[in-house]
């Protein structure tokens, strides 16, 4: 994704979330259906569990973002960590619904909203704080998804960013205008 210069926090946030979602999408595409459901240990999360949790979190946080608490009464966070969707299609449907809630809300926000107050579990946050909190949470779990997918792919892994030992070539391509910096 090409870097678009901006001084808008909201615009940059939208771009960062899209980029981060893209990393997870491309990582999950490299995992088999069975690998999506596999956990490394009994107390570890599978990719499917991480997706279920993230989707539940995004739907709760971003639905009626400005007017209701980000922890919705119908959310059962503990259930997000058990019994993931049984199929890739169902899992990805849940994933996309979570992201749709996030992007739908972000599209309706402007930088003028950043100082407004929202609540998460009753605690007051500025819109900017809530966005930054959500991005940190998202990036943390997407990193886990990428790590698991890369582990399962092994030598078949196709890098999502600059390949190892290719930084100089990438920098040359950026300088020549042939590659994106982001």
pLDDT tens digit sequence for 46-58: 999 999 999 999 9
**pLDDT tens figures, 117-161:** 999 999 999 999 999 999 999 999 999 999 999 999 999 999 998
Q: Would you say the C-alpha torsion 85, 88, 91, 93 has a positive or negative sign?
A: negative
> DSSP secondary structure string, the chain?
--------HHHHHHHHHHHHHHHHHHHHHTS-HHHHH--SSTTSPPHHHHHHHHHHHHHHHHTTTTTS-SS-TT--GGGGGSS--SSHHHHHHHHHHHHHHHHHHHHT--GGGTTSEEEETTEEEEHHHHHHHHHHHHHHHHHHHHHHHHHHHGGG---SSSPTT-HHHHHHHHHTTSS---
Using pLDDT thresholds of 50, 70 and 90, give the confidence band for residue 107.
very high
Whether 1 is in a domain gets the answer: no
Q: Is residue 18 within 8 Å of residue 11, measured between CB atoms?
A: no
Domain assignment present for residue 13? The answer is: yes
Query: How many independent structural domains does the chain possess?
Result: 1
| Alpha-carbon torsion angle 63, 17, 8, 66, nearest 10 | 10
Tokens of 17: 């979330």
2 found inside a domain: no
Say if 20 falls within a structural domain. yes
Domain that holds residue 38: 9-175
Q: Kindly state whether residue 181 falls inside one of the protein's structural domains.
A: no
CATH number at residue 167: 1.20.120.450
Confirm whether 130 is domain-assigned. Answer: yes
- Taking the model in full, what pTM does it have? 0.89
């Amino acid at each position: 994704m090409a870097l678009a210069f901006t001084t808008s926090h909201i615009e940059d946030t939208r771009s960062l979330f899209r980029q981060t979602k893209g990393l997870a999408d491309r990582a999950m595409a490299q995992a088999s259906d069975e690998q999506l459901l596999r956990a490394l240990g009994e107390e570890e999360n599978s990719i499917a569990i991480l997706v279920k949790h993230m989707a539940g979190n995004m739907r709760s946080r971003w639905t009626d973002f400005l007017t209701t608490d980000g922890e919705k009464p119908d959310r059962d966070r503990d259930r997000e960590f058990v019994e993931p969707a049984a199929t890739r299609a169902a899992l990805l449907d849940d994933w996309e619904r979570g992201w749709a809630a996030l992007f739908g809300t972000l599209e309706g926000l402007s930088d003028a909203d950043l100082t407004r107050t929202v609540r998460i579990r009753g605690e007051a946050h500025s819109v900017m704080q809530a966005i930054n909190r959500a991005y940190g949470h998202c990036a943390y779990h997407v990193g886990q998804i990428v790590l698991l997918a890369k582990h399962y792919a092994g030598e078949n892994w196709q890098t999502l960013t600059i390949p190892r030992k290719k930084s100089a070539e990438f920098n040359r391509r950026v300088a020549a205008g042939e590659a994106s910096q982001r």
